[in-house]
Structure 1
């Protein structure tokens, strides 16, 4: 019974942590773009691709980080087949993180 309780507690914590860093809902994006809280995605994609010339974008997400800042995450593969995750400040386009995705 203790194992079952621990399992439920761990699951609840995992779900709660996921909600704290939830993706921005699609119905919110248009308003964020119009207000200037998020720069156009084409510019954000270009900033990510500038870090890895010739790369291909596979996925993007718009999230809030732990500080509440909107972060645009880009998953891409470079010409050598290496996968990278580039995180950008969604308002300014500044690169926050550029890491090899292992």
Structure 2
């Protein structure tokens, strides 16, 4: 039983470490915007809200695209006017919507 518990704990730590590595460090963001690798966040936020007009942004995050160097995904959590929550993922360079799903 202890071996199984240790295995689950090690797996959870490994997955958490992998997710943490996907986040772009805040001190790198300004350089990415200046270089054109990432659109200004006000434009990305507007693109996300356009998918659910009237929605409010509750959280944003800039991540590297999994498995692709120097490509970024901007994730926006929204709450619409009826209280439904959505997660919208955008290509951070172009603003194209990659994913738009309702949180359950």
Paired with 1:27 and 1:43, the residues of 2 have a C-alpha distance of: 20
- 1:14 positional shift: 1.7
- Give the 3-state SS of the residue equivalent to 2:4 in structure 1: helix
2:82 counterpart residue number: 80
In structure 1, the gaps of 5 or more residues are: none
- 1:87 positional shift: 0.3
Paired with 1:10 and 1:39, the residues of 2 have a C-alpha distance of: 35
1:3 counterpart residue number: 4
- 1:8 positional shift: 4.2
- Give the 3-state SS of the residue equivalent to 2:77 in structure 1: strand
Paired with 1:99 and 1:85, the residues of 2 have a C-alpha distance of: 5
2:102 counterpart residue number: 100
- 1:17 positional shift: 2.7
In structure 2, the gaps of 5 or more residues are: none
Question: How many aligned positions are there?
Answer: 101
Q: Which moved more, 1:87-96 or 1:9-18?
A: 9-18
When normalised by structure 1's length, the TM-score is 0.88
- 1:16 positional shift: 3.9
Paired with 1:99 and 1:28, the residues of 2 have a C-alpha distance of: 28
Aligned CA RMSD, in angstroms, stands at: 1.6
- 1:18 positional shift: 1.9
When normalised by structure 2's length, the TM-score is 0.87
Q: Is residue 43 from structure 1 mapped to residue 30 from structure 2 by the alignment?
A: no
